[in-house]
Amino acid sequence: MTSTRSVLLLCLLFVLSLALCDQGFSQQGVPPGFQLLTDPQTSGGLLIAQRQGVSAATPLLIHAFNEVATFFDSRPRATGGARDAHYDQQAEAGFQATIRRAPLAGVAIATVRGGVGTVGFAFDSPHTIARTLPRLLQLGGSPAGSPQGGCPPPPVNWHLEPYPDGSGQIQLPEGWRITGAYKGAVSAEGPHGKINRFHAFVMTRAAASQAAQMLPGSPPPLPVADPTDPATVLVAVWSHISAANQQQGLPPFRITRIVKVEPQPPIQGFTHTAFIELELETHGAIYYNRSLVNIGTPMAGNYLHYESNVAARTECFAQNYVTLMKVLTSAQTAGHVVRERLDNARRSSQEASDIMWQTIQNRNRAQDRAHANWTEAFRGTRIVEDTRTGQWRDVDLAYSEDTVRRLNEREGYPRYREIPLRDLNP
């Protein structure tokens, strides 16, 4: 009986200490320049401050740990952390502390945007911090506190949405919309994040140097990178797109760090394939992105970058990944677009000449061949010709070589041959 009373008394004292802690936040010595933000609907609090003329997040965070020592019983103890290794524009650390000897746990985050540093300490009881942390971060206007609030619920009411230009279709849940579509390429976004499927032509550094000699003073019309590292090419392409967005009055974006690069066996028609994970800053929030990148073979100094990607706010990416992939993989290119590409190739179409140099006509053929390689890889089939009858038929691109070999072995002579789409160009 005595033991039971002791346990009950200890529990009562512990609950009382937490209650006193919650009630005593406003009476603590808030450090100069800091604000204490609380919410009556949740426990815990957020200490937040801004500092001008800041260039790096890590020193800001370290100094803030010393500044907030007067609010807690002593300097909080960091329990581990991470930072943006490339630009040091964001740093965070878990911490433990006490207020009136009541234990607390939390997360400290420092960010730097345009020379202004923001640092915040979100804290609560160790027993409730996991539940209250998202709401505490919202108090300070973190990405979790954007107008969308916390991570969105699972999607509902899926529907088939045709591309505005009629070049395909995609499955979208409620709240999503297509933001761009052109001849099979598509981008869409919604409460769960964004998806993109696109291709871009890239110049090698040697070609860019030659172009600078031919057109002095003119910026390269295409992204510039050698096709040796998919991550380097991706950064060049994204930087080029961001600069173009700014020229059109659209919000720019910036890659803050490359998280992971996973090389994959190249698919047929490309020299490099890789999964690339990265973080980027856009619209005042940090997004996590996963891309599948394919790099084509250089022809006359230019090559193809083909990419599919999904992105969401970093804190919601894991939760939303399945939804994002379902949207991305549902994208389908219309059959007439594939036929149009084939017909254009047969007629030596200059379909993409507007993004190639108009002043360098001898490179148009290389562009058509690169575009044909992409079209063939995207379609997944290759033409096989019966040289005796002249008949064509499509076979699976991955097995076209084996198919022709088996057919010729059966006939006893090279009756059948492959016709790559690029060879249709005269």
In a domain, 286, yes or no: yes
Alpha-carbon Rg of the chain, whole angstroms? Answer: 29
Same domain, 191 and 97: no
Same domain, 123 and 272: no
Closest C-alpha to 376, from 359, 400, 360: 400
What's the pLDDT score for residue 112? 82
Whether 140 and 213 map to the same domain: the answer is: no
For the chain, percent helix, then strand, then coil, each to nearest 5? 35, 35, 30
* Domain assignment of residue 84, yes or no: yes
The answer to whether residues 212 and 313 belong to one domain is: yes
In sequence order, what are the beta bridge partners of 424?
A: none
Q: Are residues 252 and 396 in the same domain?
A: no
pLDDT at 253: 86
pLDDT at 16: 30
Q: Does residue 153 belong to any structural domain of this protein?
A: no
Average pLDDT along the chain, 426 residues, taken 10 residues at a time: 37 33 54 88 88 88 94 91 72 90 91 82 90 79 43 87 88 91 87 91 90 79 92 94 83 88 87 92 85 89 91 86 90 68 47 42 52 60 82 78 87 86 60
Q: What is the Cα–Cα distance from 235 to 273, expressed in whole angstroms?
A: 15
What local confidence, expressed as pLDDT, does residue 5 receive? 39
Which of 145, 178, 198 is the C-terminal boundary of a domain? Answer: 145
Structural domain contains residue 228: yes
Q: Detail the DSSP E strand segments found in 33-76.
A: 34-37, 45-52
Residues 236, 322: one domain?
Answer: yes
Q: Are residues 296 and 182 in the same domain?
A: yes
127 inside domain: yes
Please check whether residues 317 and 204 belong to one and the same domain.
Answer: yes
Same domain, 48 and 131: yes
Name residue, tokens 């949740």.
42
Q: Which domain holds residue 414?
A: 380-426
Check whether residue 192 and residue 318 sit in a common domain: yes
- Show which of 287, 316, 340 is a domain's final residue: 340
Helix (H, G, I), strand (E, B) or coil at 204: coil
Q: Verify that 113 and 248 share a domain, yes or no.
A: no
Cβ neighbours for 229, distance < 8 A, ≥ 6 positions apart: 272
To the question of pTM greater than 0.85 for the whole model, the response is: no
Q: What is the CATH number of the domain that holds 131?
A: 3.40.1000.10
Q: What single letter denotes the amino acid at residue 192?
A: H
* Same-domain check for residues 117 and 198: no
Instruction: Please state, in angstroms and rounded to a whole number, the distance separating the CA atoms of residues 191 and 148.
Output: 7
Q: Which of 340, 368, 391 is the last residue of a domain?
A: 340
The amino acid present at 194, given as its one-letter code, is K
Domain count along the chain? 3
